[in-house]
Structure 1
Amino acid sequence: MFESLSQRLSSTVERLRGRGRLTEANIRESLREVRVALLEADVALPVVQALVQRVQVRAIGQEVLKSLTPGQALIKVVRDELTALMGTANADLNLAAAPPAIVLMAGLQGAGKTTTVAKLARFLRERRKKKVMVVSCDVYRPAAIEQLRTLAEQVEVLFHPSSGTDDPVAIARSAVDAARRNFADVLIVDTAGRLHIDAAMMDEIKALHAVLDPVETLFVVDAMTGQDAANTAKAFSEALPLTGVVLTKTDGDARGGAALSVRYITGRPIKFMGAGEKPDALEPFHPDRVAQRILGMGDVLSLVEEVERKVDQEKAQKLAEKVIKGKRFDLNDMKDQLEQMVNMGGMASLIDKLPGMGSLPDQVKSKVNDKEVHRMIAIINSMTKKERRHPDLLNGSRRARIARGSGQQPADVNRLLKQYQQMEKMMAKLGSGGIKGLMRQMKGAMRGMGGNGLMPPR
């Protein structure tokens, strides 16, 4: 998300960073480029006008022109105004209600509402330690109820059954009773969507809202629809007392116009953003961190939180103890490291959160994908347990067999083993306490890495 906008804004503010002084003329010139970048990112025109005007007022004032580092001061102004535009700070869910706290989900068909219900249920179960029940009041879309049942099993939350022949309001009442009987802390209600906003849809969801009296009414919207997302959210906010917005499919949106427009147009905070199909692909929306990512500053806080949450701490501890004791780093250990990387969202997700990566050329970014990681895992999986523990056994005939078993070429196996040897040497240096030697080894390994940093391009 934000790739195109980030590149344009990063290059614009970077040109100002090293200047000893700024004038009103070059500030206005830079803000014209910022304006074009925002419009190309499909940010709504009123939002663009408001943002540029606020930045200009602060930039031409004493805050920037009198600063010792005016270029950096302007970047700070742009970052602050982007953050304010999206809501300053993360707006948390308000679940302070007598159980069950009811969360009503609204949105158009195809926005990813049902999958978001499951993701939110998992989020509340794992991170808030809540007992969650979900229910579908979508009696129109074929298999919608069965889809939610399957997802509920995957994320390990309670599911209240319903039928396509039932009345949505009756389903809602029944679900509330069931949630009370099961001592659920939270009940998440999935509602029917339509391909467009219509009176019947609005009447039905208003009736559901009146019966449920939810503590949270969240509007789920597809980020790839750009400023249309903000306009649709505005229509819903006028019909329902929305408490927040969930942006979905942000991994498929390179522009980011929806994220910058929704809060300004609707006055409702973005509470979550979904990126991917996996049940854990839902994150709280932090405007300050997103603003930093847009300006190419990375998002180290989110990266640290992700590492703490998704890295298998027990495996990491075992590997650390193994290295310290001087035991050999083997291919099982390498496979564990690759799988941890995939669990954290893959290479693209990691790079997106690292400072300075927004300015990488497109041809470099295009090579950053997880195909090579999965290929390496497949090659290791084709080895016997003994071969993984003792890589020295891998002679030519064994390598040919492994290549056939994994659907790769012998050259791919050779490249993987070269990567393994580099990692093994680094681990040996770390174990012996030679940190300077380790750093030299890492530099050499980086020079030897081609393509996307894992394997040379085929």
Structure 2
Amino acid sequence: MFENLSERLERSFKILKGEGKITEINVAETLKDVRRALLDADVNYKVAKNFTDTVKTKALGMNVLTAVKPGQLMVKIVHDELAKLMGGEATELHLSGKPSIILMSGLQGSGKTTFSGKLANMLKTKQHKNPMLVACDVYRPAAIEQLKVVGAQVGVPVYAEDENKNVNEIALHAIQEAKAKGHDVVIVDTAGRLAVDESMMREIASLKDAIHPDETLFVVDSMTGQDAVNTAKEFNDRLDFDGVVLTKLDGDTRGGAALSIRTVVTKPIKFIGTGEKMEAIDVFHPERMADRILGMGDVVSLVERAQEQFDEEEAKRLQKKIQKNKFDFDDFLKQIEQIKKMGNLKELASMIPGVGKAIKDVDIDDNAFNGIEAIIRSMTPQERTHPEVLNQSRKMRIAKGSGTSIQEVNRLVKQFDQTRKMMKMVTGNQAMSMMARMKDMKGAMPRMPKL
């Protein structure tokens, strides 16, 4: 995510490395390079120029503490201004209706239908809502069927009328159905449309007037850069939406849309899509995104994802097994499943400060655990719970059953044995206090100092 921009900004800051103080000359040279980096990232020219002008004014007007080097000061200022550029702080959904109504809008192919499912899943699992999806794309072939498939994936019902082509009627009927069946959120998926398609824009404007949504979200593919920003402006002029959803951000190496859209459209980015899985949706946090752009990682988001999979009772049970040296392959398999639920492996690793740069050119496949899982699932229940019974003949059978080699099975068993010994060494009060710290980490994470 934003790898190209991160690399270019890092090179820009090296201009100040070794400088004893900030001067108008070295600041101008650094910011000239920063502006080029932003323009190469497809950031709106006016936004890029205003950004560097603001950073220059703040850098030259700041009394530098002796403990802060000029390069560090510039990173701090750029970080704060990047966060401000993207909105400053996260913006929540305002859901006050009974039921609350969310209207999705955007171009065809932007990912509205998939995102509708992701949003429904998030509201259901994290906020304990009872959502309903509504199929109001009556033009695209198989659009209704796609939404039904998405709804089935996340366990959320879909309201659809195959014969009715009037989207206002479909949506109003769905709202009545939601009230009757106790659904507290209605997510209306609509057809993709171009801002220049007058009849289609009139249709969605009419739909908005008919259902009075609590939230109107504009979904856009972040990888289209300035095109995304321009389209968002055109839609906002007609629809006056409440927030932006950036999809496919995991594949965006530049970042132009994320950095420009808030300034140009004056509407907040509320969510980002970070992968294909239904769990791959995040609330947009400008400050955390600034951290990631500048190579500082995003530990808070990493901890939040871990907490979503964290089961305190399961952790206590696991700790007792570790203390008795009873941690087995079944437990190991559960840990792998929890990690996989947290999201894309490379993205998770990049959230750790310093790791993102190190793995920039490393391909971390989401299927990296497949071989390990196949080996464990080829074991008998006794072999999983009592790894010590794994002799050579059993390992050969497991290798054959899992489609792997005897060397791979031996390697896994050896690594598992070493892991079990290490885990036993760090159990007791140390492990419990570590878990307690992790649980409280979200609220206690250190932030960048105020200068």
Which deviations, in whole Å up to 9, do the C-alpha atoms of 1:364-391 show, x marking residues without a partner? xx14333332221121111111112222
Which deviations, in whole Å up to 9, do the C-alpha atoms of 1:160-193 show, x marking residues without a partner? 2221543112112212222222233221111111
CA separation of 1:15 and 1:417: change in aligned 2, threshold 3 A: farther
Please report how far the alpha carbon of residue 392 of structure 1 lies from its aligned counterpart in structure 2 after TM superposition: 2.6
Query: 1:373 is matched with which residue?
Result: 369
TM-score by length of 2: 0.89
Distance in 1 between residues matched to 2:194 and 2:423, nearest whole Å: 55
Which deviations, in whole Å up to 9, do the C-alpha atoms of 1:57-107 show, x marking residues without a partner? 11122245888433222111101100111000111111123x122111001
1:77 to 2:77 alignment: yes
CA separation of 1:13 and 1:315: change in aligned 2, threshold 3 A: farther
Contact 2:275-2:344 within 8 A present in 1 as well? no
CA separation of 1:433 and 1:270: change in aligned 2, threshold 3 A: closer
Which deviations, in whole Å up to 9, do the C-alpha atoms of 1:179-234 show, x marking residues without a partner? 22223322111111147742222111111111112121100001111121111111
**Aligned ranges for residues 28-427 of structure 1 at < 5 Å?**
28-64=28-64, 68-97=68-97, 99-194=98-193, 197-324=196-323, 326-360=324-358, 362-363=360-361, 366-427=362-423
Please report how far the alpha carbon of residue 309 of structure 1 lies from its aligned counterpart in structure 2 after TM superposition: 0.8
Structure 1 stretch 386-395 or stretch 183-192: which is displaced more?
Answer: 386-395
Distance in 2 between residues matched to 1:137 and 1:433, nearest whole Å: 55
Q: Which amino acid aligns with 1:374?
A: N
Distance in 2 between residues matched to 1:410 and 1:346, nearest whole Å: 29
Distance in 1 between residues matched to 2:29 and 2:176, nearest whole Å: 61
CA RMSD in angstroms comes to 2.2
Distance in 2 between residues matched to 1:358 and 1:349, nearest whole Å: 8
Gaps of 5+ in 1: 436-458
Distance in 2 between residues matched to 1:135 and 1:212, nearest whole Å: 12
Which deviations, in whole Å up to 9, do the C-alpha atoms of 1:226-253 show, x marking residues without a partner? 1211111111011101100011111122
CA separation of 1:259 and 1:164: change in aligned 2, threshold 3 A: farther
Aligned length: 431
Contact 2:99-2:186 within 8 A present in 1 as well? yes
Distance in 2 between residues matched to 1:429 and 1:177, nearest whole Å: 59
Contact 1:155-1:279 within 8 A present in 2 as well? yes
Contact 1:323-1:430 within 8 A present in 2 as well? no
Distance in 1 between residues matched to 2:259 and 2:229, nearest whole Å: 9
Distance in 2 between residues matched to 1:157 and 1:332, nearest whole Å: 30
Which deviations, in whole Å up to 9, do the C-alpha atoms of 1:275-310 show, x marking residues without a partner? 112222111101011111111111111111111112
Query: 2:434 is matched with which residue?
Result: none
CA separation of 1:335 and 1:118: change in aligned 2, threshold 3 A: same
Please report how far the alpha carbon of residue 433 of structure 1 lies from its aligned counterpart in structure 2 after TM superposition: 7.5
Please report how far the alpha carbon of residue 348 of structure 1 lies from its aligned counterpart in structure 2 after TM superposition: 1.2
Please report how far the alpha carbon of residue 319 of structure 1 lies from its aligned counterpart in structure 2 after TM superposition: 1.1
Q: Which amino acid aligns with 1:397?
A: S
TM-score by length of 1: 0.88
Q: Which amino acid aligns with 2:74?
A: L
CA separation of 1:3 and 1:135: change in aligned 2, threshold 3 A: same
CA separation of 1:335 and 1:346: change in aligned 2, threshold 3 A: farther
Contact 1:10-1:358 within 8 A present in 2 as well? no
Distance in 2 between residues matched to 1:232 and 1:64, nearest whole Å: 42
Query: 1:430 is matched with which residue?
Result: 426
Contact 1:249-1:275 within 8 A present in 2 as well? yes
CA separation of 1:184 and 1:370: change in aligned 2, threshold 3 A: closer
CA separation of 1:196 and 1:406: change in aligned 2, threshold 3 A: farther
Please report how far the alpha carbon of residue 402 of structure 1 lies from its aligned counterpart in structure 2 after TM superposition: 1.7
Which deviations, in whole Å up to 9, do the C-alpha atoms of 1:105-132 show, x marking residues without a partner? 0011111101111111122222222222
CA separation of 1:56 and 1:64: change in aligned 2, threshold 3 A: farther
Contact 1:162-1:171 within 8 A present in 2 as well? yes
Contact 1:6-1:358 within 8 A present in 2 as well? no
Contact 1:59-1:65 within 8 A present in 2 as well? no
- Percent identity among equivalent residues? 48
Gaps of 5+ in 2: 432-451
Distance in 2 between residues matched to 1:335 and 1:234, nearest whole Å: 48
Q: Which amino acid aligns with 2:35?
A: R
Distance in 2 between residues matched to 1:268 and 1:304, nearest whole Å: 28
Please report how far the alpha carbon of residue 52 of structure 1 lies from its aligned counterpart in structure 2 after TM superposition: 1.4
Q: Secondary structure at the match of 2:88?
A: coil
